[in-house]
Structure 1
Amino acid sequence: FPDNLLMMTGGGRNAPGAFVFGGGATTNTPTSIVPPNGQNLHYNQRRNYSWSDDLRITRGSHSLSMGAWFMRVRQTAFSSAQNNAGTASYSGLLEFLQDQPVQFLAAVNPQALTFTSLEAAVYFQDEIKLKPNLTVRLGLRDEMTNGWNEVNNRASNYLFDANGILQTNPRIGRSPFVKNNAKALLQPRVGVAWDPTGNATWSVRAAFGIHNDLQDNLAHRLNANQPFNARLLITGRPMLSIIPLAGSTAPPPTCSADSPLREPACAIYTVGGLDPNMHTPTVQQWTLEIERAITSDLAIQVGYVGHQSYHLSTSMDLNTIKPVICDNAAGCLSGGVRPARFRVTVPQGSEYVPVGARPNPNLGTTNTWVYMGTASYHAANISLTKRSRNGLSYKTNYTWGKIMDISSAILGPSADNDTATLRNPYNPKLSRGIGSYSLKHQFNANFSYQLPFGNGRGIGGGATGLVDKVISGWQWNGIFNAQSGFPMTPVIGINQTGNGDTRIPDVPILDPNFHGKVILGVDGFKKTGKYFDPNAFLLPPTGTFGNVSRGRFTGPGFYNLDMSLFKRIPLKERLNLQFRAEAFNILNHANFNNPTAGNVVFDTSDPTKSAGSAGAITETAPLHGERQIQFALRLEF
């Protein structure tokens, strides 16, 4: 490579960085600190040192438990160095020759940051047997931490000014937080076990508890902020005039006039960070179970489980344009940062994104973790259990449940490609919907049956010798699962609101004049190629939000049946050989995934048209593949 193609000084002619071309052509010659497989050996080094001790004392009807726990966490973050030679992306070879990159990304002078945290907990519990058929358990746990601290006072985190606008330059210090809200996290626990009749045929159990999730893996949220590890992102601008970059100097903080990277090659920084006033994620959990022994080997159980979580980590882009309510009788111009040809006038009273730049134009999109997420889970379940008798045992259970949250993903897309970032950070409730992992119905059953063949059994009870060895020792097993589909959310495919965060596909409007079936189902997909009808949706006016809530619709359901047949062959007194024939998905039933690319309703190049793949299912579910049969021999001794 010629010297004028080096992306950073000191890289050497054999380490220019990475060039990525549309169509699959890629050249990559990493710097000397990056091993050939592209992974940085210094990244996310973590050392935990822990100590704990527990004590239990029994006195009369009291069983006392107490203990303490301590842990020291030390984590090194150095991920930005994986790309410290830079990465330039081009849509094709012609654009490369013309110096027209799509984007250029580089980490200038990356540094290793080391974070530490001290965590501790103490607990006390008293299990009291008030009566022979009544036991109460009372407990209290207290957890604490001194926060998340960088050993050399290099924690870089972004704060807000008095107007709520993200500050251009980050706050530097020992901790990314302005306050430690985890000095004392009290967690009460209560439990009751009661036998109403006293003869062990009934059982009633109830419990309540509060639990916290200490945050001690946060280095990856702070390892790419300026001035230590800022990632320089230049989009759609020639780069030959600005490279090689000096790796020994800190990157410029903004796109101001005195920036070394002046227009037309001004850099916009993509920043990350954490809520500076973080609260620890908390969950309240309560359960109620009633069990009844129907016979000596058959029992039924009915239960309810509830969870309520708050202070959950949620990803937001905090540098987006704030939506407002139009108060002009003549209407308001809407469209945010979208080009002028897409802007529209919305009527008075509409919520819309006004035309303009990001609140802080010196910064690009942000990926900030804020701890305002909430979630709830409620489920009723019933199960029937039969212990082995006459060679037969089985268990069945059914659960009806529902998860509600404002986001089911934090590091990346979850089920149904649910975005990791809230669509409107100024109104998190707009993202509240059915969780991506919520399953309304679940049914499971399994059985094991010792077949009644052979000496002393119901069939061939008088068999001896070779005949008995052939027909005895057979066991038949089966597992059946059935569940409703995962929630799914049709999306537009573009940032129709124009709030500035192009990573988040907005949602459409459900057409009030559409009277057909929105969900055509698997049968409809087999006939029409569409799992849902894209004609049921409308494109919202530019700068406004759609009304299709998260998880509004349900994807294809699942069911599967596995079976196996075992044969036990005695060899010696304590030596047996087992033959196993196992069939997975014995019915060879195809289970389908939600539409993934097919959940995009409109053509991204022309949003006024439906996407050709809208509603299409492109893959089967990985949960249960095609039918597989395997044979095995197992030696037992």
Structure 2
Amino acid sequence: MNLGLRWEYNGSPVEKHNYDGSFNPNVNPTTTYAVQQVGPGAPLTSFYKADYKDFSPRLGVAWDVRGNGKTVVRAGASILRNPVVAGQYIGLSPFGANVPSIGLNTSGKDINLHTPAQLALTTSQFTWTAAGPVFPGNQTSGVTCTVATPCTTQAVNPNFRQPYSGQWNLDIQRAITNSLTLDLAYVGVHGVHEATWLDINQPPVGAGWNTPNAILGGLSPAAFCIASATHAKPYDQCGVPGKGVNKIVNNAIAANEAVSSPYYANFPYLNEIVQLGNQDFSNYDGLQVTVNERTSHGLSFLAGYTYAHALDIVSADATDQQPYPINAYNVRLNYGNSDFDIRHRFTFSPTYLIPGMKSPGQMLQGWSISGIMTFQNGLPWSNSDVTNDIIGTGEFVGTISSALQPWNYSGPPSAFKAGPQTIPQLKGSAATATCKAAAEAPYAGDARLVALADAALANYGCYAQGSGILTPPALGTIGNAGRNIFRVPNYYNVDMSIGKEWKIKERLTAQFRAEFFNVLNRADITVPAANNSGLDPGANSQFGCACATLDVQGNNPVLGSGGPRHIQFGLKLLF
């Protein structure tokens, strides 16, 4: 048995000249800019409160059941901390996004009431040598934040805590023969207080659609939309195709979203306030089976099977580029299959030393054949509309990042398995005939939402494949097609090699190898790419197209898995 306890303290980072800043909602909005300097002697002394409770206990147990070394049980549990680095606090994209208040004008005029400053540096001005600071001081430029042109800023939750995970495992290892062993293991991981970036100034869901506006004669965009149901072209005043009064596109109105933001009343010169907090969590459970045969009668192999499930809010480190939650006030809507969730995975790597006999030139001896076979489920993917502001928060195209904006889905998720072709889109009368019932079903009993679902269908169309139907949600609502519910086809790959050795001298051996990668020449595709609209049902182009193999999309077309069959030959001298 092993017992351990670790304690560590990770304090809030401090910049030498207090050039970091963070949002402070408690300032007097008529006299003080809301983004204040952070550091000793500054208005905010630190990004977050000190946390002295970062304890990490460890436990490990091993038990030889019969005392003969043939059956061993092992178990372990621990809490592991994951400190967040300073670069995740200070908003690296764009540089200086969380700028402190250096200049303040109190003239009372909106155009220049708040004039913060940020470092004004080009890439060539950074000093990367060991002599001197990286960022030269006293080079600043004004940042104009007004009601007409509000700024985005970044912040840290003052109650931020260091993320950690609880990990545990149970393993049973059995020696079946002198050369064959079986290993059964269960592994569990639970991520707690994981770092999250979210916009704490997000408008309420539907604000852009449901707030009355003078431009539309005092109607909300949703009401104006519903009123056009009887037009010659039904719902022609909804979404991108429709024209509202004064020739303004009648969509979710950004001004409605702005005035509905929680901090608009006090800080109208700020739009997104992207705060680092601790809302995320994750879970992993896995059954791992391993069979290991050490060389016996010329044969050795390692076989492994894993049945696992990984779920999380976001599958990335906490950088300001990670996707925003679908709804900042309910991050659990993003909880789903991890981007790397592989439910089943089997690997088999045998090696066989072919029995030989003496022959001229040793040509009938020293031969071997080996291989690696990998079979696993396809990776998951999500749909997210980054073309239309259906939810009505404006977060689908955020300044720094963007929020997922899913549509509604009915049918088995397997029907929308991505492939090398796009998923068929239907528009107009074809969409109405095929998808109307599915579009209205989530809102049965609510005539207003049914009408807004019909309006979305009329303007954005739908997708149908097999027994699955994807429809836009009612305008101003969130779709039910949760994160990563779809998958790409399963992955299969077989590599093999044939080897031949010649013994030249006692300490000198020549080895020839012929190696075959992707023997079956199978095209294993990866998830649809965001950069070609493969994930965006609103883009009317490449939705659902897994148009690249793993190696190409991973920018590694030479050595990456997923490429075409490759054959290579090698000759080595071993001494």
Fold-level match, TM-score > 0.5? yes
Q: Does 1:433 align with 2:336?
A: yes
Which has more helix, going by share of residues?
2
How far apart in 2 are the matches of 1:302 and 1:219?
Answer: 39
Q: 2:287 aligns with which of 364, 380, 384?
A: 380
| In 1: Cα distance, 2:487 partner to 2:333 partner | 19
2:49 counterpart of 1:179: yes
Aligned to 1:603: 538
**Counterpart selection for 2:545 from 608, 616, 626:** 616
**Contact 1:565–1:581 (CA under 8 A) maintained in structure 2:** yes
Q: 1:289 aligns with which of 171, 188, 200?
A: 171
* Cα deviation, residue 518, structure 1: 3.0
After TM superposition, the structure 1 = structure 2 runs for residues 507-526 of structure 1, keeping only pairs within 5 Å, are 507-512=405-410, 518-519=415-416, 522=419, 525=421
The aligned amino acid for 1:377 is: Y
The residue aligned with 1:398 is: 305
Structure 2 match to 1:443? 346
Aligned partner letter, 1:159: N
Distance 2:574 2:514 in 1: 17
- Structure 1 counterpart of 2:460: none
Name the residue aligned to 1:40: none
Deviating beyond 4 angstroms after TM superposition, the runs of 4 or more aligned structure 1 residues are 247-250, 339-342, 410-414, 514-517, 524-535
Q: Which moved more, 1:474-483 or 1:183-192?
A: 183-192
SS of 1:471's partner is coil
Are the structure 2 counterparts of residues 138 and 219 from structure 1 closer, same or farther at C-alpha, using a change threshold of 3 Å? Answer: closer
**Aligned with 2:210 (options 330, 334, 347):** 334
> Structure 1 unaligned runs (5+)?
1-135, 233-246, 257-265, 327-331, 455-462, 605-610
Q: Secondary structure at the match of 2:8?
A: strand
Q: Which runs of 5+ in 2 are unaligned?
A: 40-44, 103-116, 121-137, 227-251, 426-462, 552-560
Q: How does 1:536-547 map to 2 (within 5 A)?
A: 536-547=469-480
Letter in 1 for 2:326: R
CA offsets per residue over residues 106-131 of structure 1, 9 Å max, x none? xxxxxxxxxxxxxxxxxxxxxxxxxx
Kindly provide the CA deviation profile for residues 606-630 of structure 1, in whole angstroms up to 9, marking residues without a partner as x.
Answer: xxxxx24222222122132111111
Quick one: structure 1 residues 531 and 303, their matched pair in 2 at CA, closer, same or farther if it must change by over 3 Å?
farther
Please give the alpha-carbon distance, in whole angstroms, between the structure 1 residues aligned to 2:281 and 2:180: 40
| Contact 1:203–1:290, Cα closer than 8 Å, also in 2 | yes
* Alpha-carbon distance change, 532 to 386 in structure 1, aligned in 2, over 3 angstroms: farther
Distance 1:253 1:184, change over 3 A: farther
**1:277-335 superposed Cα distances (whole Å, 9 cap, x missing partner):** 220010100000111111111111111000011111122122211348x9xxxxx9626
Is residue 196–residue 202 contact of structure 1 (8 Å, CA) maintained in 2? yes
Counterpart contact for 1:508–1:538, Cα < 8 Å: no
Note the alpha carbon deviations across 1:587-621, whole angstroms, 9 max, x for none.
111101222245445334xxxxxx24222222122
**Residues 473 and 366 of structure 1, relative CA distance in 2, 3 Å threshold:** farther
Q: Secondary structure at the match of 1:424?
A: coil
Secondary structure at 2:545's aligned position in 1? Answer: coil
Secondary structure class of the residue paired with 1:255: coil
Change in 2 beyond 3 A, CA 1:591/1:390: same
- 2:524 aligned residue: 591
Aligned equivalent of 2:193: 311
Are 2:485 and 1:552 equivalent residues in the alignment?
A: yes
- Residues of 2 paired with 1:336 and 1:564: CA distance? 70
Pair 1:155 & 2:20 matched = yes
Residues 385 and 395 in structure 1, CA contact (< 8 A), matched pair in contact too? yes
Q: CA deviation at 1:218?
A: 2.6
- 8 A contact 2:196–2:318 mirrored in 1: no
Counterpart code for 2:69: A
What displacement does 1:149 show? 1.3
Q: Which amino acid aligns with 2:416?
A: I
For residue 497 of structure 1, what is the amino acid of its counterpart?
I
Q: Distance in 2 between the 1:252 and 1:511 partners?
A: 44
Structure 1 residue aligned with 2:570: 632
Change (3 A) 1:519 1:333: closer
When residues 188 and 509 of structure 1 are mapped into structure 2, their CA distance, relative to the original with a 3 A threshold, is: same
Which residue in the other structure is 2:393 paired with? Answer: 499
In the TM superposition, residue 255 of structure 1 has moved relative to its aligned partner by 1.0
Q: Distance in 2 between matches of 1:160 and 1:198?
A: 64
Letter in 2 for 1:207: G
Contact 1:336 1:543 in 2 (8 A): no
Whole-Å Cα distance in 2 between the matches of residues 552 and 311 of structure 1? Answer: 24
Contact 1:168–1:254 at 8 Å: present in 2 too? no
C-alpha contact 2:423 2:545 (8 A) present in aligned 1: no
Are the equivalent residues in 2 in contact too, given 1:506–1:545 (CA < 8 A)?
A: no
Deviations 1:241-281 (A, max 9, x none): xxxxxx9664146316xxxxxxxxx5432222333322001
Name the CA distance, whole Å, in 2 between partners of 1:542 and 1:221. Answer: 36
| 1:334/1:168 CA distance change after superposition, 3 Å | farther
CA contact (8 A) 1:140 1:188 kept: yes
> Residues 231 and 271 (structure 1 numbering): CA distance in 2 closer, same or farther, change over 3 Å?
farther
Q: Once the two structures are superposed, what CA deviation does each residue of 1:506-527 show, in whole Å capped at 9, x if it has no partner?
A: 4344355x699732564x9599
* Equivalent position to 1:320, from 188, 202, 208: 202
Q: Go from structure 1 to structure 2 and tell me whether the alpha carbon gap of 1:481 and 1:155 turns closer, same or farther (over 3 Å shift).
A: same
Do structure 1's residue 226 and structure 2's residue 136 form an aligned pair? no
d(CA) in 2 for partners of 1:533, 1:283: 41
**Cα distance, 1:342–1:400 mapped onto 2, change above 3 Å:** farther
Shift of 1:535: 6.9
Kindly tell me the number of residue pairs found equivalent between the two proteins.
Answer: 444
Say whether the 8 Å CA contact 2:412–2:468 is kept in structure 1.
no
1:631 is matched by which residue type in structure 2? F
Query: Between the two proteins, what is the percent identity of the paired residues?
Result: 27
Q: Which residue of 2 aligns with 1:344?
A: 222
Structure 1 residue 210 displacement after superposition: 0.5
Secondary structure of 1:518's partner? helix
Check whether the contact 2:501–2:510 (CA below 8 A) recurs between aligned residues: yes
Aligned partner letter, 1:179: K
Kindly indicate whether the alpha-carbon contact (under 8 Å) linking 1:491 and 1:599 is maintained by their aligned counterparts in 2: no
Deviations 1:362-409 (A, max 9, x none): 123344322221001001111111011122110111101111111113
CA RMSD of aligned residues (A): 3.6
Structure 2 CA distance for partners of 1:185 and 1:599, relative to 1, 3 Å: same
Greater mean deviation of Cα atoms: 294-303 or 616-625? 616-625
SS in 2 for 1:218: helix
1:138 and 2:138 correspond: no
Deviation per residue, 1:150-203 (Å, 9 max, x gap): 122332111334999xx952121315424112x341111111111111111111
State how far apart, in whole Å, the 1-side matches of 2:9 and 2:185 are.
33
Write the distance in 1 (CA, Å) between the matches of 2:464 and 2:4. Answer: 51
Distance (whole Å) between structure 1 residues aligned to residue 46 and residue 144 of structure 2: 18
1:486 corresponding residue in structure 2: 379
Task: Kindly indicate whether structure 1 or structure 2 has the higher relative contact order, using CA contacts under 8 Å at least 6 residues apart.
Answer: 2
More strand by share: 1
Q: Which secondary structure state, in structure 2, belongs to the residue aligned with residue 344 of structure 1?
A: helix
- The corresponding residue for 1:41 is none
Kept after mapping to 2: 8 A contact 1:336/1:499: no
| Paired amino acid for 1:629 | I
Pair 1:251-2:186 in alignment: no
Aligned in 2, Cα 1:431/1:499: closer, same or farther, shift over 3 Å?
A: same
